[in-house]
Amino acid sequence: MTRGEEAALHAFVEGRRTALFRSAYLLCGNRDEAEDLVQTTLVKVVLGARRHGRLDNLEAYARRTLVNTFISARRRFWRREQAYGDVPDVAELSVDSDTGLVVRAALARLAPKQRAVLVLRYWEDLSVAATAQLLGMRESTVKSHTARGLAALRAAVREEYV
Amino acid sequence: MNLQEMETERVRELLGRAVDDVRTPRGRGTEAVFAQASRIRWRRRAATTGVTAAAVAAALVLGPGLLDDQGRETSVAGRPTAGELTSRAGRFAKLLPAGTGRISEVSLLRLVKQVPKAPLPKPVGPYDGDYAVSRDGGVGYISVHLSTAKEVKAKTGGLGLQDPCKDSPRDGTVDCTSEKLPNGDVLGIHRTGAPDPGTYSYPTWGPELVATLRLADGGVLHVRANGGFQGKGQLGPLLKTPPLDRDQLRKLTLNPKLLP
């Protein structure tokens, strides 16, 4: 890898960290875990870029790595999420911070893949086809995950917000 | 804006609120990412590529009866045993405590990656290489790899290695003890924890102890005592413990015969 390519890789890591962290936080719902996820993702991106000597489409590579790392971590049995309490069925939405809390709780109730689909479709603004390709699933599966995810959000947040 | 676009906007807004009140951590910087990537790359090389020079030497020193194209042992009768061979494996066996097991040279790169013709790096130290340790029906490995100061700087992005414990990858280092030696060298010994399968695409490895000796001139000597691996190319079941305990590993790593 040339010096210019190394500099570009540094710039990418520097520039994308915050955006990746926000996506990671939506996926994990936990600040520390999101930070670890971003770190692991960026390390993999650096290793992959150096291994293949390519810098094209780093954005997509990072996004794919982030989501797949998150899903594979959740898949391992010892890290399966446990629900320790119930979130109220109907949230009080008097202030914005409450809304954020309720949305995070609603996301936490979803299966990791459903959560990933919502984040990719609505936060990363990917199409159904692009989401399906990134997650390695059929478009119909993406649509059904989307519908279930939105239904969960609707159940948690008052109807007028969704 | 149609209905679908409105819904997309509203969901996006909701997700935005979910992350709005979360501060982005400032703990780790960009350099931490590159430093970790360099260490992982270095460690992978040490685990596979970096220690494969022994295979060439094995072919030359031990003859074709010991290693076939796969790097597997082919002649039980010809296998070196501790203290009885004149080959390099035999000489290496003499550096080990009695009862360590039957020692023979292999190439972990060829075994693990199943690449019989993989190019082999030039060894730096006289005992650089991988040695299979057969005992109690299982097979473990001891790998020795010496890196020059120049190599260390290149592989750590110019940072070099100061304290083996502090500078080792966090995800693979457990119970690391660091010891500064009178001659200025720093010895770190750690146990390798279960690797993150997302980061490491290796087969399943047995219990492992790793000694890292940072030499005063900036070079680094790595000695890994591994309980074996399960997967294609494995030579036998895993050992229940690493082939050397901490004290034995320390003694071996500090043996000046491992250095040129």
Q: Tens digits of per-residue pLDDT, B80-116?
A: 333 334 478 888 999 999 989 989 888 887 777 777 7
CB contact under 8 A, B33 and A43: yes
* Residue A143 Cα, gap to closest chain B Cα (Å): 13
pTM of the entire structure?
0.49
* Residue B202 Cα, gap to closest chain A Cα (Å): 15
How far apart are alpha carbons A152 and A143 in whole angstroms? 14
Q: Is the dihedral of CA A135, A19, A14, B159 positive or negative?
A: negative
CB contact under 8 A, B15 and A161: no
Asked whether the beta carbons of A112 and A103 are under 8 A apart, the reply is: no
Estimate the share of chain B in helix, then strand, then coil, as percent rounded to the nearest 5: 30, 20, 45
* Residue A153 Cα, gap to closest chain B Cα (Å): 9
Comparing CB atoms, the residue among B8, B14, B25 nearest residue A35 is: B25
CB contact under 8 A, B198 and A72: yes
Contacts of B35 in chain A (CB under 8 A): none
Q: Is the dihedral of CA A22, A28, A32, A38 positive or negative?
A: negative
B4 three-state secondary structure: helix
Residue A129 CA, distance from chain mean position: 17
Q: How confident is the model at residue B38 (pLDDT cuts 50, 70, 90)?
A: confident
Give pLDDT, residue B44. 66
Q: Which residue of A39, A58, A72 to mutate against B (max B Cβ within 10 Å)?
A: A39
B103 three-state secondary structure: strand
Give the A:B interface size as CB pairs under 8 Å.
94
Q: Is B114 left (phi over 0), alpha (psi -120 to 50) or beta?
A: left
Written as six digits, the tokens of A15 are 């520039």
Domain extents for chain A? 3-79, 96-161
CB contact under 8 A, A100 and B36: no
CB contact under 8 A, B17 and A103: yes
CB contact under 8 A, B198 and A21: no
Q: Tens digits of per-residue pLDDT, B197-247?
A: 554 555 677 888 999 999 988 899 999 999 988 877 788 888 989 999 999
Give pLDDT, residue B31. 78
Task: Kindly identify which residue of chain B lies nearest to residue A105, measuring between CA atoms.
Answer: B18
The answer to whether A144 faces chain B, any CB pair under 8 Å, is: no
The answer to whether B3 faces chain A, any CB pair under 8 Å, is: no
For residue B24, give the amino acid letter.
T
CB contact under 8 A, A39 and B196: no
Give the pLDDT mean for B46-61.
43
* Residue A6 Cα, gap to closest chain B Cα (Å): 10
How far apart are alpha carbons B113 and B108 in whole angstroms? 8
How far apart are alpha carbons B54 and B104 in whole angstroms? 10
Positions of chain A with pLDDT under 70? 1, 53-55, 75-97, 158-162
CB contact under 8 A, B24 and A18: yes
- What CATH class is the domain A3-79? mainly alpha
The answer to whether B194 faces chain A, any CB pair under 8 Å, is: no
The count of other CB atoms within 10 Å of the CB of residue B153 is 15
Written as six digits, the tokens of A114 are 């459903």
Give pLDDT, residue A71. 85
Residue A91 CA, distance from chain mean position: 23
How far apart are alpha carbons A77 and B147 in whole angstroms? 39
Q: Which helix (H) or strand (E) holds B248?
A: helix B246-253
Q: Tens digits of per-residue pLDDT, B140-149?
A: 999 999 999 8
Q: Is the ipTM of this complex over 0.90?
A: no
> What CATH number has the domain spanning A96-161?
1.10.10.10
Give pLDDT, residue A100. 80
* Residue B35 Cα, gap to closest chain A Cα (Å): 9
CB contact under 8 A, A35 and B27: yes
Share of chain B above pLDDT 70, in %: 72
CB contact under 8 A, B15 and A103: yes
For residue B36, give the amino acid letter.
Q
